[in-house]
Structure 1
Amino acid sequence: MIKLKITGMTCEHCASTVKKALETVRGVERVSVYFPQGYAQVEGKANIEELVEAVRRAGYGAEPLQECIEIYIPKGDVYDMFIVGGGSAGFAAAIRASELGAKVLIAENSTIGGTCLNRGCVPSKYLIGIANTFYSLKSSPFVSVEKAQIDMRKVLEAKEELLERLRKEKYWNVLDAYPNIEYREGRGRFLGKGKAIVGEREVSFWKALISTGSRPYVPQIKSLDTVRYYTSDSIFNIDYVPEHLVVIGGGAIGLELSQAFSRMGSKVTVVEALPEILTGEEPELRERLKESLKREGIEIITGAVVDEVKQEGEIIYVKVRAGNTNRVISGTDLLVATGRKPNTGGVGLELVGVKTNAKGFIQTNEFMQTTNKDIYAAGDCVGKFMLVTVAAMEGGIAAENALLGNKREVDYRHIPHAVFTDPELASVGLKEEEAIRMGYSVDVRILEFSKVPRALISFKHDGLIKTVIDKETKRILGIHILAPHSAELIHKAVLLVKYGLTLDDVIRTVDVYPTLSESIKLGAQAFVKDVSKLSCCAE
């Protein structure tokens, strides 16, 4: 059997032309051409040079393949991949499956694009950007702004225009570019082995991917159902600036939105049940962030349980118990930001043997395969890392494993994340306590951002960078940053951690001066020198 890589094909008609050209060559018994993969397979005893020349004469390029490439052969009479959920994980899976030549069906019962685009990172960062611009003018010692206020109705209109544009560019246009992908609006539900229903139409499939995402988790609080409240899904449709916003939840979502509304003019009170905010982050960073938010006027109550809420007229009363102290907070608006839970109900998982854990997240192995060998899952409904970037990565890997066999494992070790407060908090790699638990002998340095010249120039030096290394090898295990633009800075750190670079590797690099990214080099230099006694850019 002879295998050829074919270049220049843009459609099925091209594949048909190449097939006919190859069939004219003496010794050819059977030809299969796979357009999406750019690949041809020839059976018989034909001469390779004659095959290549025949393809060239037909107007395309060809070259022999010495080894068989991994390729998926479409099943023809069924959907090769059925995807429940049209967000980032679902679309990443659909694109990868289509590239392999599969016929794909996506079923989505809500708005195309999923949580991140419609109700998550995009609208939240948009709101944060507006709030920060407004705040920077009001708080600048060099600018006088009187009676400035946010027009939330205009903000809403502009947000919707942005989201509609991104839906078109990132999703609808993608469907136009991949004819193998069919998209249907309607709830997808499994009926049994290889069978599902979308809306009222039954479909057959060979493999499937569940990427149904998540929704806000609302805890059991007495009388909450009688009170007007927002969640992280609905808050982006608010058309006014609250007078006093009470936020239940001191995680990333709660803190980002608390600061945004505070900077737009709201009085904000945050109530967190755990002893500290952002409990998964390095203690030095989260404590400094807490101090920074309090300086801006945000009240933060930790170790506090909300026993009851009630509403009288326009005022919402939140009864809080912190230790032995009881307190009633009166606010005009309430935001419940206590995390998210998976959308795994009503999908028919029980009919196809897909198991979930106690919290409802779908159980998967290292290949994103569920307890049903023909069904995979990715994104928030799996609950490993509830980030849009991770969802897309999981989706692509899941599709490839489903169609070609389990070969690619998902590696979560070097994935960065960020909290978009100001200063931003970003992290990659091992935290100090994690590294110690794993048996490393660690060394740690904390660099104040007041030592970074660009931070001083920009009047934004509230922050620090914590670097964790292996004491024996000097290899960088983790970098954790609280600083302006740390969500951008962390990408430099990702490469250092992922590829196991050492302190010397970092110290011997040359940065542009003055930049915030220089902070990572200064953080490395802090292990061997007193950076306060270094001249600019010195090693």
Structure 2
Amino acid sequence: MSGVVIIGGGPGGYEAALVAKQLGAEVTVIDRDGLGGSAVLTDCVPSKTLIATAEVMTDMAAAGELGINFHDAHGDAATTIRVDLGTVNARVKALAAAQSADIEERLTRRGIRIVRGTGRLGDGAGRGGGEVVASLADGGEEAIHADAVLVATGAHPRVLPTAQPDGERILTWEQVYDLTETPTHMIVVGSGVTGAEFASAYLALGIPVTLVSSRDRVLPGEDADAATVLEDVLERRGMRILGQSRMLSVTREGDGEDAVTVTLTDGRTVTGSHCILALGSIPNTAGLGLEEAGVRLDDGGFVRVDRVSRTTAPGVYAAGDCTGGFMLASTAAMAGRIAMRHFLGDAVQPMDLKQIASNVFTSPEIATVGWSEAAVEKGEVVADVVKLDLQGNPRAKMQGIHDGFVKLIARPGSGVVIGGVVVGPRASELIHPISLAVAANLTVDQVANTFTVYPSLSGSVAEAARRLHQV
């Protein structure tokens, strides 16, 4: 029986453990912070739970258009909706803890051993077998034999010497859930996915937000049309967006409404009660003995892997945020499963980056899959593109949806769907039929000729496909 040791209990680690056990391996997971990792405890699950509350606030703000009005006990019109951030964050942390406990119970029930502590590659590791040394949480060390090792140690928030978080007013995205008071003005530094999501959420919760972006638009890595829609919506709802504004430093003085000062490189300053630093991620790869075992890292410290999650050292695999690329819980889980199937001789399909669906949980949401329109414009792929605004969709009209669109990208001639974008409420759900089309090499005619419910937002996917019909 093969012995597998997994360092890290996040999605890449625990999903790999389940697959390895199913395929007959003896599995040990070395976990430091709690099963589920940062995705469950400090990142994906908490942030999307916070965003779920923000979505309700957004719906309530637009309720008047649908004929819904709020009144107090005396029949007077209620003019203000407030959020209790302490209660919201208590629920966020409780849900995250419960999800972590559920995952641990699932692994334990399957007979997977869980070791509390940190792991590093030891003698013989990287040569097709060897030891993993666990530094135990309650003291001491344990050497565990491993025929294969999966490194799934994740990443942590990047900070700068001139912008140090204090956990109270200057925060990383892992620290925001300890807030018990509602900020009077939140400054978000960084307009990538994390920064945009938090800026959108806190704005929806009724908190004034300033977003500091070093680029000329929010979400510079996403579809340009989608980013434009989001930026227009955020500004219309009252967000202040400072484009092409690079942060120089973040400092704190006191606890008042202007306690935090963000100084920009051009000398301007922005003051607020709180600040979130969304400056990217640093891989958790230091001190693991990776390079000593022959594992190659890139210049940023991320582990280099191939399409079946192998590193450059025999018997050592890696998955998740420590490998960079698409830093998503879904890709981490898939990479972990692929690694174990490959090592244990099961049928395996290598990772195809052009089949990865991702979502930005802003309001509206932005979901993408496959080739982008930017790649088409650069000549990287030849394709036809059609964009269909949701405002013409009957279901969207009924629900009061004014912003968003469906975009399909298909090869000329064959009509095979190779990419798509959805912008709108629950875009994370609506992208799935396009993801299926990309993964299964369906044509636009096959998509168009599949029945959709009337009325439905998914009808716009079929309509976009019809507009790409190959005569």
Q: Structure 2 matches for 1:520-539, cutoff 5 A?
A: 520-527=461-468
In structure 1, what is the Cα distance between the partners aligned to 2:347 and 2:453?
44
Counterpart selection for 2:181 from 240, 256, 261: 240
Q: TM-score, normalised by structure 1?
A: 0.79
Does 1:151 find its partner at 2:95?
no
Q: TM-score, normalised by structure 2?
A: 0.90
In structure 2, what is the Cα distance between the partners aligned to 1:405 and 1:508?
36
SS of 2:306's equivalent? coil
Counterpart selection for 1:474 from 411, 415, 418: 415
Q: Structure 2 matches for 1:126-275, cutoff 5 A?
A: 126-141=49-64, 142-144=68-70, 145-169=78-102, 171-179=103-111, 181-193=112-124, 194-199=130-135, 200-221=141-162, 228-275=169-216
Q: In 1, are the aligned partners of 2:119 and 2:133 still within 8 Å (CA)? A: yes
In structure 2, what is the Cα distance between the partners aligned to 1:370 and 1:101?
23
SS of 1:462's equivalent? coil
Letter in 1 for 2:69: V
Does 1:109 find its partner at 2:40?
no
- Percent identity of equivalent pairs: 31
Which deviates the most, 498-507 or 278-287?
A: 498-507
Does 1:277 find its partner at 2:218?
yes
Q: In 1, are the aligned partners of 2:410 and 2:417 still within 8 Å (CA)? A: yes
Q: Displacement, 1:472?
A: 2.4
Letter in 1 for 2:408: T
Counterpart selection for 2:446 from 500, 505, 508: 505
Could you list the runs of 5+ residues in structure 2 that have no partner in the other structure? Answer: 71-77, 125-129, 136-140
Q: In 1, are the aligned partners of 2:445 and 2:469 still within 8 Å (CA)? A: no
SS of 2:433's equivalent? helix
If asked which structure has higher relative contact order (CA below 8 Å, sep 6+), I would say 2
Q: Which residue of 1 aligns with 2:264?
A: 320
SS of 2:153's equivalent? coil
| Deviation per residue, 1:410-447 (Å, 9 max, x gap) | 22221100011111100111112324556543222211
Letter in 1 for 2:261: Y
| Deviation per residue, 1:182-228 (Å, 9 max, x gap) | 10101111222112221212222221110001111123436777994
Letter in 2 for 1:166: Q
| Deviation per residue, 1:443-483 (Å, 9 max, x gap) | 22211111111001000121112222222222222111111
Q: Displacement, 1:313?
A: 1.8
Letter in 1 for 2:119: G
In structure 1, what is the Cα distance between the partners aligned to 2:364 and 2:416?
27
Structure with higher Rg: it is 1
Aligned residues: 447
Q: In 2, are the aligned partners of 1:415 and 1:428 still within 8 Å (CA)? A: yes
Q: Displacement, 1:369?
A: 1.0
Q: RMSD across aligned C-alpha pairs, in angstroms?
A: 2.1
In structure 2, what is the Cα distance between the partners aligned to 1:458 and 1:350?
55
Letter in 2 for 1:234: Q
Does 1:125 find its partner at 2:61?
no
In structure 1, what is the Cα distance between the partners aligned to 2:107 and 2:468?
51
CA 1:320 to 1:484, structure 2 compared with 1: closer, same or farther past 3 Å?
same
| Deviation per residue, 1:300-351 (Å, 9 max, x gap) | 1121111222222231111124xxx542111110100122121111212133
Q: Which residue of 2 aligns with 1:456?
A: 397
CA 1:138 to 1:92, structure 2 compared with 1: closer, same or farther past 3 Å?
same
In structure 1, what is the Cα distance between the partners aligned to 2:97 and 2:132?
30
In structure 2, what is the Cα distance between the partners aligned to 1:415 and 1:403?
24
Q: Displacement, 1:112?
A: 1.8
Letter in 2 for 1:197: V
Q: In 2, are the aligned partners of 1:224 and 1:308 still within 8 Å (CA)? A: no
SS of 1:304's equivalent? coil
